[in-house]
Structure 1
Amino acid sequence: MSEQQEFSAPQEEYRTTQERVYYQVRDAILRGKFLPGHPVTIRGLAAELDCSPMPVREALRRLTSERALELSDTRRVTVPTMTPEKLAEICSARVALECQAAEQALPFVEPEALEQLRRLDERVTAALEEGDIQEYVTANLEFHFTLYRLGRPHIILSLIESLWLQTAPLQHLVFQRFGVQELPDRHRDLLDAIAAGDVQRVRTAIRQDIEEGLGSISAEELL
């Protein structure tokens, strides 16, 4: 991994070094710090995260089991590349799971939570207008998972996180190549549907947001 690799600061609530390392690497993947095909070394990560190789090895094992990383026949760990078929399958799975998570969260969106979502959407909109890739990635991530967590969908949420982990590197690569100014944004439709308590409109907005976002990636960009 390059020396420019960034990680979030360690959080006090992490009970062990192993847990801290896992979440820092996982967070880096979600925020697009790794690109497809990028090799990941235990020694390099251990040096950057100021820890021994053991917690790094365990973090990579967990992330490989979650399909965020890939272990080759030569025991080399890399960020997976994407195929059109795999991307289409992930898109379908995200639609199914995230529509369910949003519907499950809807009864728990109190005015304060709705206002928080609106503030996050303002950050997303500003990032799109300014072409700020990192802020867009961060704010968009926080917007979606703030909503989904309201319904406390523990099993569904872990599956959604796994799918985001698999697409984040590719999406960030596309953002670097083409920017984010032209990305579709269905958050306003979603917020209006949430405010109206309209389950079907919520599901439609989530589906369109995912399909238009992932669907904008062409087969050529997967190479």
Structure 2
Amino acid sequence: MTPTPEPSSSAPAQAGALEEEAYAALRHALLFGGFAPGERLSIRGVAARLDLSPMPVRAAIRRLVSEHALDTTPAGTAVVPHLTREQFRELTGLRARLEPHALELAVPHLAEPELAALQGHLETFAAAKAAGDPAATQRADTEFLFTLFRAAHSPLLLGFIESLWLRRGPLFWEARWVLLSTSSLHARHADILAALRDGNVAGASAALADDIERTAEVLLASHPFGA
């Protein structure tokens, strides 16, 4: 009798790798202009865009829905959040509490290599802003802050912050030219780094909270929100 072949362990591993690839690609798209607020995401359409099969895309979308990075229609279709003013205010309030807390947790872990990395992100941001490149400015802004958040060594807190950023990402991308042209919004990261180098944790935390709140004020005054 021919022996029954044992199940291959490579198939689940490959499926998991494809799901992670789809998940990472969708997260990047939410942060950097891949989807518009209110856009409905068909599994086949997203799979074709990512050049993946529908199964890992379906799993990745389900993960993002469970993390509140995506909404769903009554029929169960995933949709990119189109935040109302009230939802944006709530999101801003959460960010203004969680992100300074992450910064404070990060401080004991910030040595010269981390501070040098923060300085590098500031310089990249300044060069991108001078070149009028909103995508590069947003990437540098993201890397500056997440260098701090990752240094907190709190996976749970980092996950909460990432979910908020994914949810606000499409709105911030849509408003990228407003944010790029508002020069007063870009000084606070330099203030954060200066305060960290001086050992002024409270000052760095306050500068981050102020940056979040001032950016929100600009958007609330100038950007159309969902109904």
TM-score by length of structure 1 reads 0.88
Deviation for aligned residue 1:127 = 2.1
Equivalent residue for 2:225?
222
Q: Distance in 1 between matches of 2:87 and 2:48?
A: 33
Q: Distance in 2 between matches of 1:34 and 1:205?
A: 30
Equivalent residue for 2:109?
108
Q: Distance in 2 between matches of 1:39 and 1:128?
A: 31
Equivalent residue for 1:46?
47
Q: Does 1:206 align with 2:208?
A: yes
Equivalent residue for 2:72?
71
Aligned residues: 209
Q: Distance in 2 between matches of 1:118 and 1:206?
A: 16
Q: Distance in 1 between matches of 2:219 and 2:141?
A: 17
| Contact 2:19–2:59 (8 Å) recurs in 1 | yes
Equivalent residue for 2:139?
138
Secondary structure of 1:188's match?
A: helix
Deviation for aligned residue 1:154 = 0.7
Identity %: 37
Q: Does 1:181 align with 2:181?
A: yes
- Structure (1/2) with the larger helix percentage: 2
**Aligned counterpart for 1:191 among listed residues 188, 193, 211:** 193
1:78-123: CA deviations, max 9, x gaps? 1111111111111110011101100011111111210110010111
Compute the RMSD of aligned alpha carbons. 1.6
Which amino acid in 2 is paired with 1:117? L
Q: Distance in 2 between matches of 1:48 and 1:166?
A: 21
Q: Distance in 1 between matches of 2:42 and 2:217?
A: 32
| Contact 1:128–1:136 (8 Å) recurs in 2 | yes
Equivalent residue for 1:122?
123
Q: Distance in 2 between matches of 1:97 and 1:222?
A: 23
Deviation for aligned residue 1:64 = 1.0
Deviation for aligned residue 1:74 = 2.1
Deviates more, 1:46-55 or 1:101-110: 46-55
Deviation for aligned residue 1:169 = 0.4
Deviation for aligned residue 1:63 = 0.7
Equivalent residue for 2:5?
none
1:155-199: CA deviations, max 9, x gaps? 1000000000111100111115x3612150211100011101111
Which amino acid in 1 is paired with 2:125? V
Deviation for aligned residue 1:221 = 1.9
Deviation for aligned residue 1:53 = 0.8
Q: Distance in 1 between matches of 2:131 and 2:224?
A: 23
Q: Distance in 2 between matches of 1:222 and 1:125?
A: 29
Equivalent residue for 1:152?
153
Which amino acid in 2 is paired with 1:206? L
Which amino acid in 2 is paired with 1:36? P
Q: Distance in 2 between matches of 1:200 and 1:179?
A: 26
Secondary structure of 1:221's match?
A: coil
Q: Distance in 2 between matches of 1:180 and 1:21?
A: 29
Which amino acid in 1 is paired with 2:168? T
Q: Which runs of 5+ in 2 are unaligned?
A: 1-14
| Contact 1:174–1:221 (8 Å) recurs in 2 | no
Q: Which runs of 5+ in 1 are unaligned?
A: 1-13
Q: Distance in 1 between matches of 2:139 and 2:95?
A: 19
1:3-40: CA deviations, max 9, x gaps? xxxxxxxxxxx961111111111121122321101121
